[in-house]
Structure 1
């Protein structure tokens, strides 16, 4: 069953690249006592993700922070090295935190997996966004397969 508005974010471990190398990120701590605009994509460097999804959040980062968002985070079922390279190539530093769900554990716990094996990508995350306030899902926007509308930065700005 997929996570719903009002649910606590499940406990899992993500990974973030730092100057000292990969660092584990416990979701319990990450979402605690703050508001996070969180979005997930099926894959780093893929067309819609690179041309629209990540750039939209980078472009709207100041507007979101002005509306009370403490941090904006992008997650994909990719390794932390790929997420770091993608963030650097998109100039996301200081605007969007790039988080890796390398084994897809968080995605599975959310109930938002996508079988992309037909495209040679295996199990991935559905395209979605959510506003998390103090560890609780306040808004959840899951895209229909192939769509890119409700998980966009523009849509989320209207929810803040």
Structure 2
């Protein structure tokens, strides 16, 4: 079953690279009592993710936060080393959370996993964005194609906040 608007997020643990090294972040730490924009990508360093999806959120970070959002996070089924390198390379380290759902447990619990083995990626996350308030999904935008970043992009999210 795919998560829907009004559903509470499942409990999960992520890894994130920080200036002090890797840290574990739980869904409770990230979402409880907060308004958070979460977007997911099929893979760090992949073309659409790096050139189209992530830049919009980095460029609009201050505008998103000025609308009452407490935090922004990007999630991918990658390890924390890859997510940390991606954060550093894109200039996003310390600006938004780069969450490693290393085994895909959270992604599978959401029902938003996608088998991209035909493209050599294995099981990854579908491309989506959601607005989460106190752990509850308030808006959900899932792309039909992993190569598109329109309904889940920052511009679309800004209209929903």
TM-score interval, normalised by the smaller of the two chains: over 0.9
User: 1:126: which partner in 2?
Assistant: 126
Q: CA deviation at 1:8?
A: 0.3
Q: What's the secondary structure of 1:57's corresponding residue?
A: helix
Q: Return the alpha-carbon distance in structure 1 between the equivalents of residues 134 and 76 of structure 2.
A: 22
Q: CA deviation at 1:93?
A: 2.5
- Does the CA contact (< 8 Å) of 1:16 and 1:98 recur in 2? yes
Q: CA deviation at 1:29?
A: 2.5
Aligned residues: 160
Q: What's the secondary structure of 1:140's corresponding residue?
A: strand
Map 1:109-148 → 2, pairs under 5 A: 109-145=109-145, 146-148=147-149
> What do you get for the CA RMSD once the two structures are aligned?
0.9
Q: Return the alpha-carbon distance in structure 2 between the equivalents of residues 74 and 38 of structure 1.
A: 6
Map 1:39-78 → 2, pairs under 5 A: 39-78=39-78
Q: CA deviation at 1:49?
A: 0.3
- Does the CA contact (< 8 Å) of 2:41 and 2:127 recur in 1? yes
Instruction: Give ranges in structure 2 of 5+ residues lacking alignment.
Output: none
Q: CA deviation at 1:148?
A: 1.9
Q: CA deviation at 1:13?
A: 1.0
- Does the CA contact (< 8 Å) of 1:114 and 1:123 recur in 2? yes
Runs of 4+, deviation exceeding 2 Å: 18-21
Q: Return the alpha-carbon distance in structure 2 between the equivalents of residues 94 and 9 of structure 1.
A: 24
Q: CA deviation at 1:95?
A: 2.3
Instruction: Please give the TM-score of this superposition, normalised by the length of structure 1.
Output: 0.97
Instruction: Give ranges in structure 1 of 5+ residues lacking alignment.
Output: none
Instruction: Please give the TM-score of this superposition, normalised by the length of structure 2.
Output: 0.96
Q: CA deviation at 1:4?
A: 0.3
